[in-house]
Amino acid sequence: MRNIKMTIEYDGYRYLGWQRLGDTDKTIQGKIEQLLTEMTGMPTEIIGSGRTDAGTHANGQVANFKTASAMELKEMHDRLIRYLPNDIIVKKLEEVPERFHSRYHAVGKTYHYYVWNHAIPSAFERNYSYQYPEPLDLDKMNEACRKLIGKHDFLGFSALKKSKKSTVRTIEDIAIHQEGNLLRFTFTGNGFLYKMVRIMMGTILEIGAGSAELEVIDTIFESKVRSNAGMTVPSQGLFLDEVYYG
């Protein structure tokens, strides 16, 4: 049995997220599995490094699947490029050891979130950024980012109702890059809880706009209560950029 690792780029605008759903074919996982099953002549399940929500994009999602097919990698890759929708691109295929697991073996991820900071929306950025019309204080947002970096219990920054597993994560870096009206926020850490990036992002924006104080971050860490954090920003500004393996 071969184990094949995929690096995937996709525009999530038309899709209901990564995870296969039984009542629709509008998922990234579902589209790829359907084509692989047709190509190999046998049911094929792919395992992603993590789920992305409806509307979320990826520059470097990673998945793996096992197959008994003898098809050469180049032919398989060529067919995936040719027959998948043009908003889902398999950038790379490689054979990996049988025990490799794209989710369990991931040791870190980087996400980008894009904000269009202007009162007038952008025709070109509307599906790939969140329009935030209020003026933002970049210094305050950088201070907020510094308070979020490190090892913390991020339960209050997640949409989890409860969790039997640890909600402690380590954020290694959060950086802000500005090009005109477009702000790119880069989050790198050893793992992220459900909607954690989008809730951290909402909190940072509220601090930058002056509707929340920096101290709210301490309150969220101490209370572990979601309602103390900021809004959950829309999914279209979020990109899974890279997944890291040890």
**Active site residues per annotation:** 53
Nearest alpha carbon to residue 141 among 180, 177, 112: 177
> Three-class SS of residue 133?
coil
**Cα 34 to the center of its chain, rounded Å:** 23
**How many Å is the Cα radius of gyration of the chain?**
19
Beta pairing, strands 168-179 & 182-189: antiparallel
Beta strand residue intervals within the chain, DSSP E? 2-10, 46-48, 57-67, 88-96, 106-116, 130-131, 150-153, 168-179, 182-189, 238-245
DSSP secondary structure code for residue 79 in this structure: H
Cα–Cα distances in angstroms (integers) from residue 50 to residues 4, 68, 194, 222, in the given order: 17, 24, 10, 27
> Three-class SS of residue 180?
coil
